Structure 1
Amino acid sequence: MDRERASRLAGAVVWTNDPSGAGPGRVLPDGCMDLLWNEGRLLVAGPDTRAYVTEGGTGVWTGLRFPPGAAPGFLGVPAHELRDRRVELSDLWAASAVRRLTARVDGADDPGAALEQIALDRAVPRDPLLSRLVQALDAGRAVAATADELGIGTRQLHRRSLVSFGYGPKTLARVLRMQRALALARAGVPLAETAVRAGYADQAHLSREVRELAGAPLTGLLR
């Protein structure tokens, strides 16, 4: 069972997943990074460029999903160093500090609220330029046109995107476009119309992109 709610940390989401009795799951790329708690462990999920297949029956997972570009400031680690990885928080921070935080979450009535508070305690301002980049790409704007609008060169934009998102703006645009398409399709929009509205050339293009990023056919994800 999945549950989620908006966080008090702007743009973030607190979620809980109980895969008890379920088989492997599939976490799709979404441009985000997560702080995770599972059975007395704190971990970090880096930015994905492809679907991450989870094991079934590993207990309840609780997480704080940061908005795109926000987690590196909290972690103090460039996003590209965590790309397509799941790592223990103690690999990034001092072990003594992580033990204290782990005990804090373990003892909380609501682990999600505890993760949320940890993030709020260490919150740093988001780069407004990168927030504008995410908004533009999520609206379907081209990367080159967006760079011009932001007054930044494409190479510099690529470097800053690696630090904040884990990959360049073109990959981020593909991920956000797939998420737009899935939201439309799950809302019942016909696939041909979904492809056009999400910014794909046609339905075949949509299907190819989803299979490449999600590792599964679009129809299978919708089921």
Structure 2
Amino acid sequence: AAQLRQGRSVTATARGVGLGARQLHRRSLAAFGYGPKTLARVLRLQRALALVREGTPYAEAAYAAGCTDQAHLAREMRELAGTTLGGYLSGTGYEGLAAKSETAQPSGSRTTA
């Protein structure tokens, strides 16, 4: 778990602890209730959320945590936590960090639909 928490791949982690991928998977299921890949996703999401709570912009937090981009982080958040980043932050006391869903004044664009 510590190696996955640092962002190492499942294959590298298994090799690093002297186990095969299947043995690591069985041990992960026994210890956490899901496989090492899911554990790696959960830990990556936790890294990203910690960075966002520190004030790091979403895209930068996503990249630093190991996501390919901000959209990847958004998908992981929805799949693992069942909510959006903004929705999560608005319920945790970090409302000021959540993206704004509406602007007080028009953005300056004169294009109409």
Q: Distance in 2 between matches of 1:166 and 1:220?
A: 26
Secondary structure of the 1:204 match is helix
1:189 match: secondary structure:
coil
Cα deviation per residue 1:93-112 (whole Å; 9 max; x = unaligned)?
xxxxxxxxxxxxxxxxxxxx
State yes or no: 1:203 paired with 2:70: yes
Displacement after TM superposition at 1:218 (Å): 0.7
More strand by share: 1
Q: Which residue does the alignment assign to 2:7?
A: 140
Query: Within 5 A, what are the aligned runs for 1:22-41?
Result: none
Deviation of 1:151 after TM superposition, in Å, equals: 1.0
> What amino acid sits opposite 1:168 in the alignment?
G
Correspondent of 1:183 among 50, 64, 86: 50
Runs (4+) off by over 2 Å: none
SS of structure 2 residue aligned to 1:162? helix
CA distance in 2, matches of 1:144, 1:219: 33
C-alpha deviation, 1:219, in angstroms: 1.1
Q: Aligned residues, how many?
A: 90
Query: Equivalents in 2 of 1:161, 1:183: separation in Å?
Result: 24
Matches within 5 A, 1:106-121: none
Q: Which residue of 1 aligns with 2:36?
A: 169
Give 5+ residue unaligned stretches, structure 2: 91-113
- % identical equivalent positions: 66
In the alignment, residue 222 of structure 1 is paired with which amino acid? L
If each structure's helix is expressed as a fraction of its own residues, which one has the higher value? 2
Question: Normalising by the residue count of structure 1, what TM-score does the alignment of the two structures yield?
Answer: 0.40
AA in 2 matched with 1:176: L
Alignment RMSD, CA only? 0.7
- The AA in structure 2 aligned to 1:216 is T
Using structure 2 for the length normalisation, give the TM-score: 0.77
